[in-house]
């Protein structure tokens, strides 16, 4: 694997010799002092250029960065269309280095530095930036919920729970799994993150997808949360859902008490609905592994 210094030298040497490239920035975890570096960190690079089309006409110029194992160009895809304002190349190289390179037009420089505060200026040929920003992850810190936000989270969790039940009772496990993963568990994680903030302060980030959550909660809570990911049978799905409900009830009640918010009454009503449907459809007949 090439060293970090070698990668930066390759990127900057290319940028310095190409007149179309006027500014280079680094984004992402490599700018975040709170993230321990490892070999899996991407090099998230942006080139501000005078003419994007001259780059996108062919991909040969990318060979300077090394031999690619695979590349994705989100703005050139039909199945997964991107919403970027420029053009990007997501590249994994033979030596396991990952570079995500984005091209942006010069006229976006002004607003670019408002999009994300985790930005480091690497090259500014025209001295456009008088005071280079100091990277900070403050935009990703935990935020104390308002009472409305708290109720919205509870509402989303309990309103979606019957959809999971519907999928299980109809014996449509993929439908149930999707609602469990995409909504129910996400709201559970959100609520747990608020409890972490209440207990330890809202001055840090739990990382993308709450990836650092296990560092800040008890071992017992972590183990219970992990059991909700067992979904390879109808029996496991019911147990996971019921565990999600129990965890959400406990954590959200604690958050409500700590913040002096009203805990919603529909928890009890929806929980009764779940019990009733499980009994009505005799779910013991669904014990087989999927």
CATH code, domain carrying 280: 1.20.120.330
Residue bearing tokens 């990007």? 88
Which pLDDT belongs to residue 126? Answer: 94
Average pLDDT, the chain: 92
Q: Could you tell me the pLDDT band of residue 284, with boundaries at 50, 70 and 90?
A: low
**How many Å apart are CA 46 and CA 101, to the nearest integer?**
6
E-state strands within the chain: 21-27, 43-49, 68-72, 87-93, 98-105, 119-124
42-to-21, 31, 66, 128, 183 alpha-carbon distances in Å: 21, 11, 15, 26, 28
Tell me the average pLDDT across 122-135.
Answer: 91
Same domain membership, residue 164 and residue 105: no
Structural domain ending residue among the three candidates 137, 161, 193? 137
Closest by alpha carbon to 165, among 263, 271, 269?
271
Same domain membership, residue 268 and residue 180: yes
Same domain membership, residue 124 and residue 46: yes
Same domain membership, residue 190 and residue 278: yes
Same domain membership, residue 154 and residue 74: no
Same domain membership, residue 240 and residue 223: yes
Same domain membership, residue 202 and residue 111: no
Closest by alpha carbon to 225, among 176, 187, 261, 270?
187
Tell me the average pLDDT across 265-287.
Answer: 82
Structural domain ending residue among the three candidates 121, 137, 153? 137
CB 234 within 8 A of CB 168: yes
Structural domain ending residue among the three candidates 85, 117, 137? 137
pTM for the model:
0.86
Same domain membership, residue 178 and residue 258: yes
| 243: containing domain | 141-286
The tens digit of pLDDT for each residue in 239-272 reads: 999 999 999 999 999 999 999 999 999 999 999 9
**How many Å apart are CA 120 and CA 46, to the nearest integer?**
10
Structurally, the chain folds into a number of domains equal to 2
Q: Could you tell me the pLDDT band of residue 80, with boundaries at 50, 70 and 90?
A: confident
Among residues of the chain, what percentage have pLDDT more than 90? 81
Same domain membership, residue 187 and residue 242: yes
Q: Could you tell me the pLDDT band of residue 36, with boundaries at 50, 70 and 90?
A: confident
Q: Strands 98-105 and 43-49: what pairing?
A: parallel
Q: Check whether 176 has a pLDDT greater than 80.
A: yes
Same domain membership, residue 234 and residue 204: yes
23-27, 231-235, 270-274, 286-290: least confident range = 286-290
Q: Check whether 290 has a pLDDT greater than 80.
A: no
Same domain membership, residue 282 and residue 170: yes
Closest by alpha carbon to 26, among 38, 13, 8, 14?
8
> What's phi and psi for 273, nearest 5 deg?
-60, -45
Query: Which CATH number goes with the domain that contains 93?
Result: 3.30.460.10
Same domain membership, residue 149 and residue 131: no
């Amino acid at each position: 694997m090439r060293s970090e210094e070698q990668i930066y030298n390759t990127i900057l040497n290319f940028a310095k010799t190409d007149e179309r490239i006027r500014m280079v920035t680094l984004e992402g975890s490599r700018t975040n002092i709170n993230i321990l570096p490892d070999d899996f960190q991407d090099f998230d690079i942006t080139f501000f250029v005078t003419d994007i089309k001259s780059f996108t006409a062919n991909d040969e110029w990318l060979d300077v960065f090394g031999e690619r194992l695979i590349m994705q160009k989100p703005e050139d895809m039909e199945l997964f269309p991107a919403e970027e304002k420029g053009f990007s190349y997501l590249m994994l190289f033979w030596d396991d280095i990952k570079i995500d390179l984005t091209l942006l037009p010069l006229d976006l420089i002004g607003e670019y530095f408002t999009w994300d505060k985790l930005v480091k200026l690497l090259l500014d040929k025209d001295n456009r930036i008088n005071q280079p920003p100091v990277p900070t992850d403050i935009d990703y810190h935990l935020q104390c919920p308002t009472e409305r936000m708290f109720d919205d989270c509870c509402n989303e969790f309990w309103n979606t729970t019957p959809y999971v039940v519907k999928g299980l009772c109809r014996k449509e496990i993929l439908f149930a799994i999707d609602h469990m993963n995409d909504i129910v568990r996400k709201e559970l994680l959100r609520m747990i993150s608020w409890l972490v903030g209440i207990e330890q302060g809202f001055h840090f980030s739990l990382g993308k997808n709450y990836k650092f959550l296990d560092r800040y909660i008890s071992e017992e809570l972590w183990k219970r949360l992990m059991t909700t990911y067992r979904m390879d049978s109808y029996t496991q799905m019911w147990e996971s859902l019921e565990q999600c409900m129990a965890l959400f009830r406990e954590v959200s009640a604690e958050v409500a008490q700590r913040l002096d918010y009203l805990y919603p009454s529909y928890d009890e009503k929806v929980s009764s609905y779940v019990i009733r449907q499980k009994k009505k459809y005799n779910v013991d007949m669904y014990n087989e592994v999927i």
